[in-house]
Structure 1
């Protein structure tokens, strides 16, 4: 077992050499409002009333926010099923991931990183001067004990981005128990779990587990930047001490708390995503190999077809899809988000796929 006391002390700063050698990670997201954006997995809807909450919060922004964020913590805790004290506010899910990584690693540490998965994991690990060890995302939970014991941190994404599979809670719990025995911190990224009705790992309340959550994908506000971590014991205390003061602006904190208390909106979103994901999967399988998914996106292997041509053709029809070749190990893939029926039909047409009929529930958000 790893001799934890002999390891270098933790640093909550990036490694200067790693920064100089590092690079930015490509992401989806379309800036042209005239283009249908299927490259980013965000809800096309926001809860009713958000604009009024934002307007009031903007006026309140003449003062610094309450750095304790009691209302935001309470709303986040109720949403994932933990105690408010376990919630640590962050400006987005990626900030939650960085906070967890920078407070868990020292230079030279090894980290188990799923692949293919979110590219920022490896980047954040490397920025700490640590070393990512890439493991197939669907094999990570079964990794041998020796490899787990040699790692300071293991990262799990559920549902995994870009493949889309969610991990059963019981499997996560068993892996968390193995990480405890190995003295390895476990970071669980649940950025897309809110699109499902699956239980959050936040309910584990384990001292060695950190859960990262993003609000802005589920509630259709990616530019707002609101998220949080959930942790217990000394790990929670470390995260709370290390987080930046006023880590959420007043608009993000108030809108985030409001959105987290909109269960009807969340349920409608989940119902639409589940229905449309199945419809799109059946249509896309007529042309591509489509991975199983519990997420608001589908990963498509285009086979021998030219990915660049597919991207360019879709763009010419006013649709942006994600070039998934930017994910480790994928060389013939695109990823498409799940939107509204009419937009989804436009995406299918842009990809040259026969459109299947919607079941007429396009008015879910009217």
Structure 2
């Protein structure tokens, strides 16, 4: 991190609001794997000593989960920590980094904290951008907040152009768990950032990992802080990563509930962006502040997506349970006309 840049960098707003009865602003699974609480409790006694810094069980589970060698896995306290670690070993003051827009605001923030300069490219054009001359290129698959997921062929082609240009590629796969799609983990010149927050519904656990090979992997292993993952996080993370049935059932449920949510929102006049993620980006056609306020008064929080670069009339709605969606749709009927 560049000390000279810290004071000029602001915090980034995020979803999640526990002050309301129904929080649809954060994209976390409303269900957690069975046995997760027991795994947490069992880790208490082991937490009285330092964890093994090589985290063999967690790394083995993570490697099986994404299909890579355990030696390529670097445990981190969440996906964002993996993103910071990747940027910390690739970006120097004055470097430029290809950053999609609109996308997760922390990418640009982390670039700036390293003293780098975000080179924004429209998210829809990111895979056609020239990576040459940049210290790093960033992708989010599926993209947050739009939910776009490029085809494997387009991802492969962009990866090859990054390799040819000598530009490392950082791929944030925080929401890829919700899709039956192979990870880019283990590819040459790629750092994959994974989070256990979303699909396993445990945002406060702070467990995730980076995956890289060769020189990049060596740099990540050198730079990662000692004991980067707490014992409970490693134990619960290992347990969750082994629960293939839970992930499969979650994917099936999200597909069904996303379609139900989409139908309801479109029937109420929302312009809904296509999505492969557990959320839908909606253009409400006006400043969404009155709608957000009216819903909040009734105990429901949506994500104000105007905080994303280039979005002025949008909200993002998380896919949760059928009951949550139906409550939102009934409430939208109650506040109909608030945007007129």
Q: Which TM-score bucket, shorter chain as reference?
A: over 0.9
Contact 1:169-1:201 at 8 Å conserved across structures: no
Choose the corresponding residue for 2:18, options 22, 31, 56.
31
**2:271 equivalent to 1:289:** yes
Choose the corresponding residue for 1:117, options 89, 100, 103.
103
2:190 is matched with which residue? 209
Q: Deviations over 1:56-89 (max 9, x none)?
A: 1122100001101000000000000101111000
Using the alignment, how far apart are the partners of 2:117 and 2:331 within structure 1? 40
> Secondary structure of 2:74's partner?
strand
Shift of 1:352: 2.8
Q: Which runs of 4+ in 1 moved over 3 A?
A: none
Of residues 100-109 and 162-171 in structure 1, the stretch that sits farther from structure 2 once superposed is 162-171
Using the alignment, how far apart are the partners of 1:347 and 1:75 within structure 2? 37
Choose the corresponding residue for 2:90, options 104, 108, 116.
104
**2:1 equivalent to 1:18:** no
**2:228 equivalent to 1:247:** yes
Of residues 263-272 and 343-352 in structure 1, the stretch that sits farther from structure 2 once superposed is 343-352
Q: Deviations over 1:194-239 (max 9, x none)?
A: 0111111114x21x11000001111000000000011000100100
Contact 1:284-1:353 at 8 Å conserved across structures: no
**Structure 1 residues 251-262: aligned runs within 5 Å:** 251-262=232-243
Shift of 1:353: 8.4
Shift of 1:272: 0.6
Using the alignment, how far apart are the partners of 1:353 and 1:192 within structure 2? 32
Shift of 1:23: 0.7
Q: Deviations over 1:94-143 (max 9, x none)?
A: 00000001110111001000000000000000001100011011101111
1:133 is matched with which residue? 119
Contact 1:42-1:216 at 8 Å conserved across structures: yes
Gaps of 5+ in 1: 1-13, 355-366
Using the alignment, how far apart are the partners of 2:331 and 2:42 within structure 1? 41
C-alpha RMSD of matched pairs (Å): 1.2
> Secondary structure of 1:279's partner?
helix
Choose the corresponding residue for 1:68, options 31, 42, 54.
54
Using the alignment, how far apart are the partners of 1:18 and 1:285 within structure 2? 43
Using the alignment, how far apart are the partners of 1:184 and 1:211 within structure 2? 14
> Secondary structure of 2:301's partner?
strand
Q: Deviations over 1:165-216 (max 9, x none)?
A: 112222111111100111111000000000111111114x21x110000011
TM-score, normalised to structure 2's length?
0.96
Choose the corresponding residue for 2:178, options 175, 189, 195.
195
Shift of 1:351: 2.6
TM-score, normalised to structure 1's length?
0.89
Choose the corresponding residue for 1:268, options 223, 244, 249.
249
> Secondary structure of 1:139's partner?
helix
> Secondary structure of 1:351's partner?
helix
Shift of 1:282: 1.4
Shift of 1:313: 1.1
Contact 1:149-1:182 at 8 Å conserved across structures: yes
Contact 1:25-1:123 at 8 Å conserved across structures: yes
2:283 is matched with which residue? 301
> Secondary structure of 2:257's partner?
helix
Choose the corresponding residue for 1:346, options 327, 331, 334.
327
**2:164 equivalent to 1:164:** no
Q: Deviations over 1:257-311 (max 9, x none)?
A: 100011111111101100010111111112110000000000000003x411110
Contact 1:313-1:350 at 8 Å conserved across structures: no
> Secondary structure of 1:43's partner?
coil
Of residues 55-64 and 343-352 in structure 1, the stretch that sits farther from structure 2 once superposed is 343-352
Using the alignment, how far apart are the partners of 2:16 and 2:334 within structure 1? 23
1:9 is matched with which residue? none
**2:214 equivalent to 1:228:** no
Shift of 1:47: 0.6
Contact 1:86-1:236 at 8 Å conserved across structures: yes
